[in-house]
């Protein structure tokens, strides 16, 4: 059984309730939980790779 992500509601629920709803329900509920396309491991590897690439690009351009 998948865990329910509520980080958006916990951090932004009162300040930006619609954003918190989109963050928790759409991003984690609909998009991230698509097990049939990619496994959790593969999604995590793609996310980490993208973050490393983004950080490296910022470092090379001098905006880091």
Judge if 1 and 29 occupy the same domain.
Answer: yes
Give the span between the Cα atoms of 10 and 8, in whole angstroms.
5
* Tens digits of residue pLDDT in 8-45: 566 666 777 887 777 777 777 676 677 778 788 888 88
Higher pLDDT, 7 or 21: 21
| Whether residues 25 and 42 fall in one domain | no
Q: Residues 29, 41: one domain?
A: no
* Same-domain status, 28 and 5: yes
Give the helix ranges, DSSP H, for the chain: 7-12, 17-21, 40-61
Instruction: Say if residue 63 is in the same domain as residue 46.
Output: yes
> 58: domain range?
37-64
Task: Provide the domain count of the chain.
Answer: 2
Q: Please, are residues 37 and 50 in contact by the beta-carbon 8 Å criterion? A: no
Kindly state whether residues 16 and 44 are assigned to the same domain: no
Name the more confident of 3 and 51.
51
Tell me: do 41 and 59 sit in the same domain: yes
Where residue 3 falls among pLDDT bands split at 50, 70, 90? low
pTM across the whole model = 0.44
């Amino acid at each position: 059984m998948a865990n329910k992500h509520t980080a958006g509601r916990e951090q932004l629920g009162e300040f930006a309730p619609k954003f918190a709803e989109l963050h928790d329900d759409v991003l984690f509920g609909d998009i991230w939980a698509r097990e049939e396309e990619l496994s959790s491991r593969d999604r995590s590897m793609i996310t980490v790779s993208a973050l490393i690439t983004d950080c490296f690009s910022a470092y090379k351009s001098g905006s880091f």
